[in-house]
A and B are shown apart, each in its own frame.
Chain A
Amino acid sequence: METIVSETIEEQPLQSVITKKDLMMTFVFSNFQQASFNYERIHALAFCVDMIPTIKRIYHTKEEQSEALKRHLTFFNTTPAVCGPVIGVTIAMEEAKASGADIDDGTINSLKVGLMGPLAGVGDPLVWGTLRPIAAAIGASLALSGNILGPILFFIAFNAVRLSMKWFGLTYGFRKGLDIVKDLSGNLLQKLTEGATILGLFIMGVLVTKWTTINIPLVVSKTPGQDGKMIVTTVQNVLDDLVPGLLALGLTLLMMKLLKKKVSPIVLIFVLFAVGIVGYGLGLLN
């Protein structure tokens, strides 16, 4: 195992081949986390780009590099300001994998999913619900009287906090990740794999119902209620009474099956767009 003590990070010497320059490059990339935002996999391409400095550093054959790139072209989404810790931990995991630890694709992806959901749970209310409204409200109140300090203050305050969250999140995640993979002796790795998979699957289940929107407004029945008002029951109401998010779950399972049968994701995307447009046109979906 080749490890060089990187002297570039001051706090504690890290057993890592990842240089501070690699982390810096990743940090710069992570400021463009939503550049290729797309409905299919949200930040997938961005996460892959974030990992490129690491992949270049630790994998040396084309095959390994290609495998690693593909591993990180999967669905990813979190509040952009808090993506740092996930990227940091993932860098550490990749490095352990490159130096021979038996970490499979599933573990790395489970860990990413397991972290991104809860981090978005912290990040959305913290950044979009608190930091920005407060900074913007202070800036706007100054701006209402034509004071140039308003926009300047908003810009500097928001970005200073955001950038430090990104950088410290990234380095913190990286250090924690190294701690985790440092002593992957005995069955700790197995435990980590299984634990991460459980956490990842659990969060994925939550996201399927929380982050997917399907509504079938087709009316099933109209009955007068006790107060004389008409109670309208739609197909969606009936489905929600069974379990909320049933259609999202069904659709996800169907996609899993089709993907396993080697149906191209592009075809699936186009079919789903067509379903959306036709369904909307016929009034079956809204």
Chain B
Amino acid sequence: MALSIIQIVLIFIFSCVAGMGSVLDEFQTHRPLIACTIVGLILGDLTTGIILGGTLELIALGWMNIGAAQSPDSALASVIATILVVVGHQDIQAGIAIALPVAAAGQVLTVIARTITVAFQHAADKEAETAAFNKIIFLHFSALFVQALRVAIPATIVAIFVSAEMVNKMLAMIPEVVTGGLAVAGGFIVVVGYAMVLNMMSVKYLMPFFYLGFVLGGYLEFSLLSFGVIGLITALIYVQLNPNFTKSLTLQPNEQMVYSGAIVADDELDD
């Protein structure tokens, strides 16, 4: 069964939405529950789409983006698996078997897309020089199209040829050393971003607090919230005990009271 032109166009459009959803992680259009359902609807078999979506969703419950790391790609996996199950007459189990390797392959494309968007970031730096607001907004949103096409191109190829093998073969053509290397670099490239922030806020005499955070962070398995509390308390203690602040401080009414109270107490003792 071949797909009509309209169906292929709709698959292309929805894959774009799912691709954008995948990076945004806001509206969840990339999750199997939504993506499989809508692709099922486009292909005229809503029920199969929903069931496949539910099944894949349970497998993908733990796929989440934490910090700078990204999860397996549920967008590409959902769209391709639904096409092959509905159009290629596979059962749900075969759909899972197709989805998992595609999700891993899609992760590679995500790494590449998030590397390409570094260029958009630098283009925005240039536009900031002249305060070109609209160009900055345009750059921000056009980066979404990289992510849209990342899913839409392979998904549409599958929709035309109804073959997952072909997509996996094409992805396998990217040398492993490049994709593996990009993924490795993705783990530490962010130090450039850290360095920029640190250069901006670095006050030499306060740098020990940076090293304190670094050492504690390395050894303690605390949540970031707990580290926030520790950092806040450290900052409060420092500010309260800093003699530069206490000297010039004008006495607050209640402090004056405590102070005079102490004098009264002293006087009484002397008597």
Contacts and interface: CB of A to CB of B under 8 A. Distances in A.
Interface of A: 31-42, 44-46, 48-49, 52, 55-56, 62, 65-66, 69-70, 73-75, 77, 80-81, 105-107, 109-110, 113-114, 117-118, 120-122, 124-125, 128-129, 132-133, 136-137, 139-148, 150-151, 154-155, 158-159, 162, 186-187, 190-191, 194-214, 243-245, 247-249, 251-253, 255-256, 258-260, 265-266, 268-269, 272-273, 275-281, 285-286
A187 B50 contact: no
Contact of B182 (A158, A190, A191, A273): A273
Given A124-B66, A159-B28, A150 B215 contact: no
B160 interface: no
B188 A272 contact: yes
Interface in B148-199: 177-178, 180-182, 184-199
Given A198-B234, A200-B201, A202-B209, 5 more contacts: A155-B34, A187-B249, A206-B216, A244-B219, A277-B177
B224 interface: yes
21 contacts: A31-B26, A36-B120, A36-B121, A48-B128, A48-B140, A66-B128, A73-B125, A74-B200, A124-B64, A139-B57, A148-B46, A155-B34, A162-B26, A201-B201, A203-B227, A205-B215, A258-B195, A269-B118, A276-B184, A277-B177, A279-B181
B225 A39 contact: no
Interface of B: 20, 23-28, 31, 33-34, 37, 46-47, 50-51, 53-55, 57-58, 61-62, 64-69, 114-115, 117-118, 120-122, 124-125, 128-131, 133, 136-137, 139-141, 143-144, 177-178, 180-182, 184-203, 206-207, 209-219, 223-232, 234-236, 238-239, 242, 245, 248-250
B74 to A, nearest CB: 11
Most buried by A among B26, B137, B143, B209: B26
A41 to B, nearest CB: 4
A55 B143 CA distance: 22
Main secondary structure of the interface of B (DSSP, over half): helix
B218 A243 contact: yes
A281 B183 CA distance: 12
B210 to A, nearest CB: 4
Nearest to A61: B131
